[in-house]
Amino acid sequence: MSQAAAVLSYRIVHELPGRLRLRLPRLGAPGHGPGDLEAWMEALPGVLGVQASRASRSLIVEFDPLTTNREAVLRRLDDYREPEPDETFDTGEESESELAPLAASVLTLALLPILPAPLKLGLTALKVGPTLARGLDTLVNEGVKVEVLDALAIGLSAARGEVYAATVTGLLLELGAYLERRTVRQSDRLLQRLLHPDPAPAWVERDGRLIRIPGSEVRVGDLVAVGAGEQIPIDGRVVEGLALVDQSAITGEHTPVRKEPFRRALGGSVVIEGRLRIEATEVGADTTAARVSRFIREALAKRSFSQREAERLADQRVNLTLGTAAAVYAVTRDPRRVQSVFLVDYACALKLGTPIGIKSGMARAAEYGVLMRGGDAIEQLAEVDTVVFDKTGTLTHSELMVTDVEVLKPKAGCSERDLLALVASIEEHASHPIANAVVQAAHDRNLPHVSHGEIEYLVAHGVSAQLASGRLVIGSRHYLQSHEGFDFSPFDERIERLQSEGKTLLYVANERGPVGLIALRDTLRAETPATLARLRRLGIERLVMISGDRRVMAEALGRELGFDAIHAEVVPEDKAALVQALQAEGAKVAFVGDGVNDGPALTVADVGIAMPRGADIARATADILLMDDRLDAVADAREIAAKTMGLIRTNFRAAVGLNTAILAGAVSGRLPPLGSAVLHNGTTLGVLLNVLKGVQLER
Active site residues: 390
Q: Would you call 100 exposed, middle or buried from its count of C-beta atoms within 10 A (0-12, 13-18, 19+)?
A: exposed
Enclosing H/E stretch for 318: helix 305-332
Enclosing H/E stretch for 645: helix 632-668
Centre a 10 Å sphere on the Cβ of residue 205 and count the other Cβ atoms it contains. 13
Q: Reduced to 3 states, what is the DSSP secondary structure of residue 99?
A: helix
What 3 state SS string does 408-453 have?
CCHHHCCCHHHHHHHHHHHHCCCCCHHHHHHHHHHHHCCCCCCCCC
Q: Would you call 369 exposed, middle or buried from its count of C-beta atoms within 10 A (0-12, 13-18, 19+)?
A: buried
Phi, psi (deg, nearest 5) at residue 634? -65, -45
Phi, psi (deg, nearest 5) at residue 202? -125, 145
What are the distances in angstroms from CA 210 to CA 40, 43, 202, 277, 383? 25, 25, 10, 11, 54
Phi, psi (deg, nearest 5) at residue 635? -70, -35
Separation of alpha carbons 697 and 643, rounded Å? 9
Phi, psi (deg, nearest 5) at residue 228? -60, 135
Q: Would you call 543 exposed, middle or buried from its count of C-beta atoms within 10 A (0-12, 13-18, 19+)?
A: buried
Max Cα-Cα span within the chain: 115
Separation of alpha carbons 568 and 13, rounded Å? 67
- Encode burial over 238-263: b for 16+ CB neighbours within 10 A, e otherwise: beebebebbbbbbbbbeebbebeeeb
Sequence letter at residue 677: A
Separation of alpha carbons 438 and 44, rounded Å? 36
Q: Smallest Cα–Cα separation from 198: which of 297, 83, 37? A: 83
Q: Reduced to 3 states, what is the DSSP secondary structure of residue 156?
A: helix
Phi-psi region of 46 (alpha: psi -120 to 50; beta: other; left: phi over 0): left
Q: Smallest Cα–Cα separation from 403: which of 503, 490, 483? A: 503
Are 447 and 417 a contacting pair, CB within 8 Å? yes
